Structure 1
Amino acid sequence: MLSASDPYYVAKEEVAKAMDKLRGLHQDWKRLLHTEDTARSQRFQRTHEELTGELEQLGLDLDDIHATIGMVEGNRGTFQLTDAELQSRKRFVAESRRTLEEFQKDVRGPQTRAKLESDKKAMLSFAASNARSREERQKSAVQDNQAFLDRQRQQQTQLRAEQDQDLEMLSMSAQRLGNTAQIINVELKEQQKMLEELDEDIDREAEKLNFVMKRMGKLLKTSDSKQLCLIIGLTALMAFLIFLVINT
């Protein structure tokens, strides 16, 4: 069979390209494995997923080539292949499988699993710590809110108590003002009564004074100095008596 029409060479070329791609992916994957947090790095996770997918696909492709070689080996009469060509194909599959197994061992090995598990535990521990921190912050916020509400209630209670005390003092002051107003009213009535009595006394004394003045008018018709002195003295005595009456 001509190599141009033999599907083995097409499959071989595809496997070779897949191997080159795997080597590049494996280098990137290994670098990210040692330099980044595998549990958080999306770049590592994408590379890891792509690498494992390529490894699985390459294994399937090698299985297909191996099956084809087995079919050709079992039908030597149909397929015109020399022993050297057949052995060459077997060596290619075997070498490709060894390379594949090395990649798989590196990806699935204990060191890789330890790194993946360590990063995962660290992420879970960090998440748990953040959860506890959030819970503590929420608890602290609830306590702060409760303390604020308690202070507000206490201030409102104290304010109402002060308002009640002020209203009580205002009521007592109003009551005292009312009592004082009643006392002043009583005193005003008594003063009014005293003034009315004084007016009556003055009226009576005025009548008496008018009577005396009339008598004095008659007496003043004389020009005797002794009589004038006597009249003046009696007038002064009358004024003194009126003063005594008013003040007693």
Structure 2
Amino acid sequence: MSAQDPFYIVKEEIQQSIDKLQSTFHQWDNISSNNRESIQLTKELLTSCESIRWQIDELDKAIAVAARDPAWYGIDEAELEKRRRWTITARTQVDAMRKAVQAGKEQSIAFSTRQELMRLPNDDPYQASRSNQYEAQDNDAFISSESDRQLLLIK
């Protein structure tokens, strides 16, 4: 159809969003799942998936409106079918990435819970040094209180 057809303008915008989503998804897929960047990318990906999914749903509604009177909009059934197939393909791509990110998020939460339960050190050196600092302070406080208690028992 024509370059001025709003469908193609919106389709191009959605496709650009999907391309950006795929790029961010590959970046997310190639980093460790237990760091701040991963958490931020996970949130960004899930938000983008939701936004793109909404845009595709709106485009589907526009296709349904055009399907009621294709002659009015100057399109035929073959063009409508082509548009429907594109939205189905786009939705499938977005849903697949959303499911992968959601599964990765759940796996990360499970790993974090396991790590917390087992009290394994965190991979983040800044976090680990803060944790060690607090542990050292707690140990010093305990030793001091035990020394005071023992002195009182001796007297």
Question: What TM-score bracket applies, with the shorter chain setting the length?
Answer: 0.7 to 0.9
Rg (Cα) greater in structure:
1
User: Which residue does 1:119 correspond to in 2?
Assistant: 112
Pick the aligned partner of 2:84 from 84, 90, 98. Answer: 90
2:144 alignment counterpart: 141
Aligned-pair identity (%): 19
Task: Report the Cα distance in structure 1 between the residues aligned to 2:5 and 2:117, rounded to whole angstroms.
Answer: 54
Shift of 1:24: 0.9
In the alignment, the residues of structure 2 paired with residue 134 and residue 69 of structure 1 have an alpha-carbon distance, to the nearest angstrom, of: 65
Q: Which residue matches 1:58? A: 52
Question: Unaligned 5+ residue runs, structure 2?
Answer: 121-130
How far the C-alpha of 1:143 sits from its partner, in A, is: 1.3
Please state how far the C-alpha of 1:78 moved relative to its aligned partner: 1.8
Q: 1:49 deviation in Å?
A: 0.8
* In 1: Cα distance, 2:40 partner to 2:4 partner: 38
Secondary structure in 2 matching 1:5 = coil
Tell me the alpha carbon deviations over residues 178-222 of structure 1, each in whole angstroms, 9 at most, x when there is no partner.
xxxxxxxxxxxxxxxxxxxxxxxxxxxxxxxxxxxxxxxxxxxxx
Cα drift, residue 30 of structure 1: 1.3
If each structure's helix is expressed as a fraction of its own residues, which one has the higher value?
1
Q: Deviations over 1:30-88 (max 9, x none)?
A: 122xx34x2xx111111111111110101001001000000100122321102221111
TM-score (normalised: structure 2): 0.77
The Cα shift of 1:112 comes to 4.9
**Residue of structure 2 in register with 1:108 after alignment:** 102
Map residues 154-233 of structure 1 onto 2, 5 A cutoff: none
In 2: Cα distance, 1:117 partner to 1:135 partner? 28
Equivalent-residue separation in structure 1 for 2:39 and 2:105 (angstroms): 13
May I ask how many residue pairs the two structures share in their alignment?
143
RMSD of Structure 2 on Structure 1 (CA): 2.8
Would you say 1:76 and 2:75 are equivalent positions? no
Contact 2:60 / 2:84 at 8 angstroms: preserved in 1? yes
> Could you tell me which residue of structure 1 aligns to residue 14 of structure 2?
15
5+ residue gaps, structure 1, are 155-248
